[in-house]
Amino acid sequence: MARYNFADLGAWADATEAKMNFVMKSSISDVLVAAQTTQIGITQGATSFVEGKIPVGDTAELVNSLTVDGATGPDAYVVAIAGMQIGDYKRFGWTAPHAMHVEVGTSKMAGRHFVGKNAAKFSEFVAARVAEVRS
């Protein structure tokens, strides 16, 4: 019968939990970094756009409207994610009045899908971070 050193088992468990937290935090951050990646807006002279990027106009109101747990601003997610543990729940949202119109579009404008396109890549981000901790 194999004998286990519980100190080694505890260290292995701690290391595994740390890796899981790294993957979770980094993957969520990857989604938000991608969603907050800017491109010039129509009001700034853009003639086209790339789905998945957030357009920035004169005031940068949309990119600056990211809110998480009451904190606002383009980098509000950084502090929120840093304090997360596996199983925590956070709600991230863009509160500019036109955020949903920019995301999904209107009859006069195609959606930019800066949230949806990047949220759909979450599994890819997780896989990349898992590969990172395994190497």
In the chain, where the domains are located: 6-134
What pLDDT score does 9 carry?
79
What per-residue confidence (pLDDT) applies to 1? Answer: 56
Residue 79: pLDDT above 80?
Answer: yes
pLDDT of residue 90: 93
CA angle 128, 133, 135 (to 5 degrees): 95
Q: Which of 71, 51, 26 is nearest to 118 (CA)?
A: 51
Q: Higher model confidence: residue 8 or residue 99?
A: 99
Q: Name the pLDDT band for 14 (thresholds 50, 70, 90).
A: confident
User: Chain-wide mean pLDDT for the chain?
Assistant: 90
Q: What is the pLDDT averaged over residues 47-67?
A: 91
Q: Can you give the pTM of this predicted structure?
A: 0.87
Answer whether residue 81 shows pLDDT above 60.
yes
